[in-house]
Amino acid sequence: MHSIFISGAAQGIGAAIATLFYQHGYKVGIYDINVVQAQKLAQHLGTNAKAGLLDVCHYEQWQQALNEFQAWAGEINILVNNAGILYSGAFEQTDIAAHQRTFNINVNGVVNGCHAALPFLRQASFARVINLSSASAIYGQPDLVSYSASKFAVRGITEGLDIEWQKYGIRVLDVMPLFVQTAMVKEMDAGSIQNMGVHLTAEDVAQTIYARVQAKDSMFTKTHEPVGLKTKIMFNLSKVSPQFVNRISTMFLATRK
């Protein structure tokens, strides 16, 4: 029985991932800074789910959580770096602490997770890393500057490690959803969400991640996987459009009504 370790798994996308993989017979690690809610989800799912405390900003907590989960599960096959936060609104009107916290969780959390998990993944019979990037990593987003930049960083981490860890037989992939119906986007202050709406569910993202894990590995396996039709169109157009077209498109989509 394969296992999956998910950060930020107590609610939203993380909980949807945990639920889907549990239904498909995986041992599931539900780790979150909100350990009480994580434990409730694990109890709800059943005996093949384990919950624990994890603040992704602290490397030592990663080491402790991964050791604990491997001792329980036997091996760690899948790491999902899901934990993340989002602050929206004008850059200069957002407190500097919020900008810094965004990078600490969204970027350092992924770096910590990948670095701490590698010794465990190398021991596994099959191993894969899935990072949560975003459609905001296609082109820098106004009113979401720090969040967008943090997801560009996740995109870069994914690309680099996907090549570097070939020597270990470990693929590092990501998913890139547009706005998802979770608590994170409620009362979001950005023109792009007003114009594009929120049509994806946490389950949509979970299904894409499950497909990424199940896909047979080959040289044609994509490092990035946009989630949803709108994201796929934006992602593919950005690869062939001149930069000024991408900039104008982003300006248009971000214009407040």
Residue 192 reports pLDDT greater than 50: no
Residue 256 reports pLDDT greater than 50: no
pTM for the predicted model, two decimal places: 0.87
Residue 29 reports pLDDT greater than 70: yes
By the 10 Å C-beta count (0-12 exposed, 13-18 middle, 19+ buried), 137 is classed as buried
58-84 confidence digits (pLDDT tens): 999 999 999 999 999 999 999 999 999
- Which of the listed ranges 51-60, 180-189, 241-250 does the model predict with the highest average pLDDT? 51-60
Instruction: Between 90 and 235, name the one with better pLDDT.
Output: 90
At 141, is the pLDDT very low, low, confident or very high (cuts 50, 70, 90)?
confident
Plot region of 198 (φ>0 → left; ψ -120 to 50 → alpha; else → beta): beta
pLDDT value, residue 188: 53
Question: If you average pLDDT over residues 152-171, what whole number do you get?
Answer: 96
Residue 246 reports pLDDT greater than 80: no
Angle between helices 35-45 and 12-23 (to 10 degrees): 20
Residue 137 reports pLDDT greater than 90: no
Residue 182 reports pLDDT greater than 80: no
At 181, is the pLDDT very low, low, confident or very high (cuts 50, 70, 90)?
low
Q: Which residues are catalytic?
A: 147, 151
Residues 6+ apart with CB under 8 A from 27: 1, 2, 3, 4, 48, 49, 50, 72, 73, 74
pLDDT value, residue 228: 72
Average pLDDT of the chain to the nearest whole number: 87
The CA distance from 185 to 182, in Å, is: 6
- Which of the listed ranges 25-39, 87-101, 201-215 does the model predict with the highest average pLDDT? 25-39
pLDDT value, residue 248: 46
Which domains are assigned to the chain? Answer: 3-254 (3.40.50.720)
Percent of the chain at pLDDT > 70 equals 81
